[in-house]
Chain A
Amino acid sequence: MRRWLVSEETTLGVSNDKLGMWVFLGSDCLLFGGLISTYMLYKDRIGPNDLGAEEMFDIPFTSVSSFVLLMSSLTVVLAITALRRNDIRRSRIWLLSTAILGAIFVGGQVYEFTVFYREGLGYTTNLFGTAFFTLTGFHGVHVTVGIIFLMSMYIQSMRGKLTSAQEERLEIIGLYWHFVDVVWIVIFTIVYLFPQ
């Protein structure tokens, strides 16, 4: 007689939770695809004297925050591998670093938005502003949710509840985090770097 479906004995041999996160990420592609398309269609529908992408973007600043987000992907992977090795202390450090880097990214976004606003580009000023803030806003919310996940894990670790048994949960949070980073790679290139 054989026991079945205990822990990892699933049909495909992968955990339900991890598969569930990948399935969700597949659908999130469609969400960001829609927002990016809306931005691409609307970014030039502004008057000749209106504030548009050329005038507003500060590429050096945004490149730094892009780099920060990219590095946060590295730190979260390191947190996971450390946890796998039962190196709880190091895992916590990387976990906190990821959250901090993410927060720096979001802080950079907020700063960027306030600068735009002060220079005259609000949410409803013109279609470029609306589409831009909506797209980057959705991404920023995704990053913030990710930071909440990471900080929750960090707080758990402070209560001594972070063990190598939690590795899969951390991996799943990591997957979400990488996806958010990947979306930013696409947004940064298409929105900021493509010639206007």
Chain B
Amino acid sequence: MNTTEETQIEESWVKQDWIYIKTALVLGAFTAIEVFTYFESVHNAPEWLMVLTLSFLMVIKFFLVAAIFMHLRDDNAIFTRMMVMGMCIAWPVYFIMAFAMGFLPNWNVIIKVLFLFLPPVITGSWLGFSFKGGDGGHH
């Protein structure tokens, strides 16, 4: 019958697409946490902790959208590598520019250098080499 077929399709799409719905719920939850920290900041939390937590949440959200919604996890590695190349150039270059222009003057030089190179090197190598995905490889 029509309705039974429709119900069957309906059940199965929610099941099949559950991964995306789940990811969206997680993203929503993280956003709620982030917004909550904003209000928390009114209550005297130390600044470095705020920035660290927010950055951490931001990176996770970024990663979830990229890996799951954009299928980077399942697709050919070349896609990940193009995105990673863009990020790994943008991050150090723009931060070097910012530091040279007097951004965050209170940071120790060593911390600045580590901050410039560790995140792109770590995330770049991990993402660039771990996501092999389907349809992969050369002929």
To the question of whether A and B form a pair in one complex, the answer is: yes
8 Å CB contact of A81 from B20, B34, B83, B137: B20
8 Å CB contact of B66 from A63, A182, A195: A182
Which candidate, A70-78, A108-116, A117-125, is the interface stretch facing chain B?
A: A70-78
**Per-residue CB proximity of B86-116 to A under 8 Å, as 1/0?**
1101110111011001010000000000000
- Among A18, A87, A190, A193, residue most surrounded by chain B Cβ atoms (within 10 Å): A193
Number of A residues near B (Cβ < 8 Å) is: 50
Q: Is the CB of B78 within 8 A of A29?
A: no
Q: How far is the CA of A170 from the CA of B132 in the complex (A)?
A: 23
Nearest-Cβ distance from residue A185 to partner chain B, whole angstroms = 5
Q: Is the CB of B135 within 8 A of A14?
A: yes
Q: How far is the CA of A58 from the CA of B17 in the complex (A)?
A: 34
**Per-residue CB proximity of B21-54 to A under 8 Å, as 1/0?**
1011001100100110110010000010011001
Q: Is the CB of A194 within 8 A of B51?
A: yes
| Residues 160-179 (chain A) with a chain B CB within 8 angstroms | 174-175, 178-179
Q: From known contacts A14-B78, A19-B79, infer whether A73 and B24 are also in contact, taking CB-CB under 8 Å.
A: yes
Nearest-Cβ distance from residue B102 to partner chain A, whole angstroms = 8
Q: Is the CB of A71 within 8 A of B20?
A: no
| Residues 61-87 (chain B) with a chain A CB within 8 angstroms | 61-62, 65-66, 69-70, 75-76, 78-79, 82-83, 85-87
Q: How far is the CA of A78 from the CA of B48 in the complex (A)?
A: 38
Q: Is the CB of B83 within 8 A of A25?
A: yes
Q: How far is the CA of A175 from the CA of B65 in the complex (A)?
A: 10
Q: Is the CB of A178 within 8 A of B65?
A: yes
18 more A-B residue pairs beyond the given contacts A33-B94, A74-B69, with a C-beta to C-beta distance below 8 A: A13-B139, A14-B78, A19-B82, A26-B86, A27-B86, A28-B86, A29-B87, A29-B90, A30-B86, A40-B103, A59-B35, A66-B31, A73-B27, A81-B17, A90-B13, A174-B69, A182-B66, A192-B38
Question: Which residues of A are at the interface with B, using a C-beta cutoff of 8 A?
Answer: 11-14, 18-19, 22-23, 25-30, 33-34, 36-37, 40-41, 59-60, 63, 66-67, 70-71, 73-74, 77-78, 81-82, 85, 87, 90, 174-175, 178-179, 181-182, 185-186, 189-190, 192-195
